[in-house]
Structure 1
Amino acid sequence: MNPSPDILCIGSVLWDIIGRTEMALATRRDMGGLITRLPGGVAMNIAMTLARFGMAPAVLTAIGGDPEGDELLQAVAQLGVDTRFAHRIAERPTDRYMAIEDATGLVAAIADAHTLEAAGADILQALHDGRLATAQQPWAGQIALDGNLTAELLAEIAGSPIFSAADLRIAPASPGKAERLLPVMAHPRATLYVNRQEAELLCETAFDGSRAAAEGLVAKGAARALVTDGGTDASDAARGAETFTRPAHVVRPRRITGAGDTFMAAHIYAESRGAERADALKQAQAAAAAYVAFADDGENGD
């Protein structure tokens, strides 16, 4: 019998197709580099990082009924992530994310999450039918929720009794989808993980750093907010509590896609093991720095 998951990761599980070059990429030019295909998506990135830390995460997501979906589920399971509750849609293709990165960071990306969006609330069936929880006995553990879900589903989640007892950890999929989180960020047990640009979109104002952004989100209605600001710093603000800020580690970036998800997963893991807020922030910063400095060819950055 499979054990109960430690945490549920709800959102996108797809194929990440990432092209990277060590040079600065000029517009409309070809460049030599490395192209990889790996399991990805916000929910998946968080889940597989937690699995590496020794936790038992499960994903609630939508997977196409195509051979790419079969292959993806097999790859995800091999990474230690529970896929029992994934929703398959026979007539749809498996979602994909495509990004181009160069020496300066992310150049451009396109996220095709149409199968996840089409599934809607069907991905939450295990929280209704007793496999994980019911409306009468809602899931009371941690849930990592990503902004690839539709605005309508996120709004439904914000007021649903299914999520009333959960420790919600929320991340946008991208700045372009950050505003989808407005309804659910007000959940009384939610922690929001965003970068400074996303915080500015949610608050409709500019901030001079991660600390002001985190405190701005709390003033906007979030119970707690963690804000990263690239290679500068990160802050943790909570309603009625002290704000903590820590400088980012100085590293030479070798990859960017997934760094925010790694930060979030490391922070969740640290707190699940009893770390205080300041120490959990420190551990998350260290994990994110190690992630962006790691090279696909096996060499570490400076």
Structure 2
Amino acid sequence: MNASPHVVCFGAAHWDVIARANPGARGADAPGLVVTRPGGVALNVALGLAAAGVAVTLVAAVGDDAEGRALAAMLEAAGVSAAGLIPYRGAETGRYVGIERADGELIAAVADLAALDAMAPAHLPLDALPPADAWLIDANLPAPVIRALAMLDDRPPLMADAVSEAKAAKLRPILARLDRLYCNRAEAEAICAAGLNAARAAAEALAARGVRRAVVTNGPLPAADVGAHGHVTLSPDKGAVRSVTGLGDALIAAHLAATLTGARPAEALAAGLAAARRRAA
């Protein structure tokens, strides 16, 4: 067991603007609530890890602007080292705009991530990073950055989050370099280019393609964790969902924190599902 694990997260960090219509609201100009908050997969996972007591450094692209400096200040206040943030002159700090129904289901989203799109392997502050027990990458990163990190020989174990069906395919060329992959069933289907009827089948398909450990969710249906330990499947607790935004990030942070501190596979998966349930409520 590692009493003081350290994780470096690479990926998206931006501001989320989430709009949700009031219950019963109809039409294109519906009344509701608009909230602005920190977001991005890598940022959300980093915050979750810090809240679990894990030391964490975030490597992400931001603009050389007030919004980027505000993100850095928020991260430091939350216990996440922002020393790895890369400010890009002339680019604005990213924004993600999500439109949700009153029940929390996502209707549409637009991501403006010009700073992240500008990131290149040569920009990564690898020499300045602290020793780490794990690196986590998210598939928002440009493909050359993903490949460069994956192909390094002298690095910690590499974890990855597939992020979305559209972006998951960027991980296909590096599957055999991944020590762990987090995704949902639809993202696994995008990676494998095959229909997969359950989380366990999806995790086993990823393992067959070289991933050392695959953790796959499937909405309200059982999730699976497949690796050298064999397989574990657990059903998430049922309950009302206030918002779907960030559920996977919460699961990843809790699962990774649990495994780094010695939890058994079933314990770690239960911890991840419980964290997602809390986020949903």
TM-score (norm 1): 0.86
Structure 1 residues 159-207: Cα deviation after superposition (integer angstroms, max 9, x where no partner): 22343xx1211002222101001122211x5200000110010111111
Among candidates 134, 137, 156, match of residue 142 of structure 1? 134
Among candidates 260, 272, 280, match of residue 272 of structure 1? 260
- Seen in structure 2, the aligned counterparts of structure 1 residues 194 and 8 have a Cα distance that, compared at 3 Å, is same
* In structure 2, C-alpha distance between the alignment counterparts of 1:222 and 1:16, rounded to whole Å: 31
Aligned structure 1 segments of 4 or more residues deviating by more than 4 angstroms: none
Which runs of structure 2 are paired with 1:201-240 in the superposition (5 Å)? Answer: 201-238=190-227, 240=228
Indicate if the aligned counterparts of 1:172 and 1:181 stay in contact, CA closer than 8 A. Answer: yes
Alignment size in residue pairs? 277
1:167 aligns with 2:146: no
1:73 aligns with 2:85: no
Partner of 2:171: 181
Q: Which amino acid aligns with 1:174?
A: S
Deviation at 1:259, TM superposition (A): 0.4
Q: Which amino acid aligns with 1:119?
A: M
* In structure 2, C-alpha distance between the alignment counterparts of 1:174 and 1:58, rounded to whole Å: 23
1:157 aligns with 2:156: no
1:256 aligns with 2:253: no
SS at match of 1:61: strand
Partner of 2:115: 115
Deviation at 1:140, TM superposition (A): 5.2
* In structure 2, C-alpha distance between the alignment counterparts of 1:266 and 1:154, rounded to whole Å: 23
State the Cα RMSD in Å. Answer: 1.9
SS at match of 1:222: coil
Deviation at 1:241, TM superposition (A): 3.8
Deviation at 1:210, TM superposition (A): 0.7
Indicate if the aligned counterparts of 1:120 and 1:149 stay in contact, CA closer than 8 A. Answer: no
* In structure 2, C-alpha distance between the alignment counterparts of 1:19 and 1:43, rounded to whole Å: 22
Partner of 2:8: 8
Higher normalized contact order (CA 8 Å, seq sep 6+, divided by chain length)? 2
Deviation at 1:55, TM superposition (A): 1.7
Partner of 1:62: 61
Structure 1 residues 127-149: Cα deviation after superposition (integer angstroms, max 9, x where no partner): 2x3x226xxxxx55211111111
Among candidates 238, 241, 245, match of residue 233 of structure 2? 245
* In structure 1, C-alpha distance between the alignment counterparts of 2:20 and 2:68, rounded to whole Å: 24
Partner of 1:90: 89
Among candidates 132, 138, 141, match of residue 129 of structure 2? 132
- Seen in structure 2, the aligned counterparts of structure 1 residues 25 and 47 have a Cα distance that, compared at 3 Å, is farther
TM-score (norm 2): 0.92
* In structure 1, C-alpha distance between the alignment counterparts of 2:104 and 2:48, rounded to whole Å: 25
Structure 2: state its 5+ residue gaps. Answer: none
Structure 1 residues 96-147: Cα deviation after superposition (integer angstroms, max 9, x where no partner): 111111116111111222211202224522x2x3x226xxxxx552111111
Indicate if the aligned counterparts of 1:191 and 1:224 stay in contact, CA closer than 8 A. Answer: yes
Indicate if the aligned counterparts of 2:5 and 2:261 stay in contact, CA closer than 8 A. Answer: no
* In structure 1, C-alpha distance between the alignment counterparts of 2:70 and 2:271, rounded to whole Å: 33
Deviation at 1:12, TM superposition (A): 0.8
Structure 1 residues 240-272: Cα deviation after superposition (integer angstroms, max 9, x where no partner): 441110001101000111100100000001111
SS at match of 1:255: coil
Deviation at 1:236, TM superposition (A): 0.5
More strand by share: 2
Structure 1: state its 5+ residue gaps. Answer: 134-138, 294-302
Deviation at 1:30, TM superposition (A): 2.0
Q: Which amino acid aligns with 2:205?
A: G
